[in-house]
Structure 1
Amino acid sequence: MEQKDIEYFRETLNKMLDDILQKGQETIEDMTESGETYADPADRATAESDRAFTLRLRDRERKLIKKIQKAIQRIDDGDFGVCHACGDDISVPRLKARPVTTLCIACKSKQEEEEQNRGD
C-alpha cells in the first residue's frame, strides 16, 4: 500500500475516533443537563426509550473505538491492510468501506458462510 493511502486511512480513522468521542461527550452533557420532569407517563416513557436507544448506540461505538485504536496500531506497526487469515493485501475499496477490517473480502465471505452453516 502506498504511503498516501496509509496517511488517508490514518486521517480517516482519527476522524472516526474524534467523532465518536465527541458524540459520547455530547450524550454525557445531554444526560446530566436533562433534569426534565414529565407530567404525562407516556412522555416519560418515550424519553426513557430514547435515552436507552442512545446508550445502546454509544455502547456499540465504544466497541468500535477499540477496533479503531487497533487499526491505528496496525498502521503504526506496518501491517495495516494485510488480511489476518490469509496474509494477502486487503483491497483499498474494502478498506475505504470498512477501515477497521482485518480480513480480505474472500476470507470474510468464507467466515460468514461458516457462521451461517453453524447457525451463529
Structure 2
Amino acid sequence: MAGVLSDEIDVLAKARRAMPGDYVPSDDEPYMNDAQQDYFRRLLLEWKKSILSAAAGTLTALQDGPIREPDLNDRASSETDWGIELRTRDRQRKLIAKIDSAMRRIDEGEYGYCEVTGEPIGLGRLIARPIATMTVEAQEAHERREKISRDM
C-alpha cells in the first residue's frame, strides 16, 4: 500500500513540475478566487495527463508480448510484477474518475468546500491532495465512523 501511495505522490509531483508559471495559491488572497481555481484546474489536468501517459507505457509493454521466462521462478516473479503494475493502473483509473469529479466541482463552483460541512477545505490540504472533498476534521470523523462500522 505504501508503494502505491508513493507512486501516486510521485505522479502528482511530476504534474506539479510540468505546470507552467510560478503561481502557488496562498492564504493572503480570497479563497477559491479565479487564479486559485485556474491553478487547481491546470494541476488536475496535468495529473490526469501524467497518469494517462504512464498507463500508455504499461499498455505498450503489455503488447510487446507475453512473458517468456525459461525459469519458473523468474516467470513467477515477472507475473507478480505485472500483477502489481496492473493493480496500480486500476487504482489510477479510479483516481482519474476522482480527478474528473474535482474538475466538475471547479466548473460548478463547489471545489474547495467540504461536502459534509460546507466549510473551506484549506489550501494546504488541496495542494497536497487536489481531489479532497472533505476537511481534515470531517475526513477523520468519517474514518472513525467507518472503523466502528467495520468492527461491529
Q: What residue number does 2:121 align with?
A: 90
Distance 1:39 1:68 in 2: 42
TM-score, with length taken from structure 2: 0.75
Q: What residue number does 1:16 align with?
A: 47
Distance 1:10 1:67 in 2: 13
Distance 2:44 2:52 in 1: 12
Alignment root-mean-square deviation, CA = 1.2
Distance 1:85 1:40 in 2: 54
Report the alpha carbon displacement of residue 85 of structure 1 after superposing the two structures with TM.
0.4
TM-score, with length taken from structure 1: 0.94
Structure 2 residue ranges without an equivalent (≥5): 1-31
1:1-28 CA distance string (max 9 Å, x none): 1221111111110011001111111100
Structure 1 residue ranges without an equivalent (≥5): none
Letter in 2 for 1:53: I
Report the alpha carbon displacement of residue 117 of structure 1 after superposing the two structures with TM.
2.1
Distance 2:132 2:48 in 1: 15
1:1-120 equivalent positions in 2, closer than 5 A:
1-119=32-150
1:86-106 CA distance string (max 9 Å, x none): 111110101111111111111
Letter in 1 for 2:33: E
Distance 2:69 2:129 in 1: 41
Report the more deviating stretch, 109-118 or 50-59: 109-118
Misfit runs of 4+, over 3 Å: none
Residue pair 2:99, 2:131 contacting (<8 A) in 1 also: yes
Q: Which has the higher contact order (CA 8 A, sep 6+)?
A: 1
Q: What residue number does 2:4 align with?
A: none
Percent identity over the alignment? 36
Residue pair 2:67, 2:79 contacting (<8 A) in 1 also: no
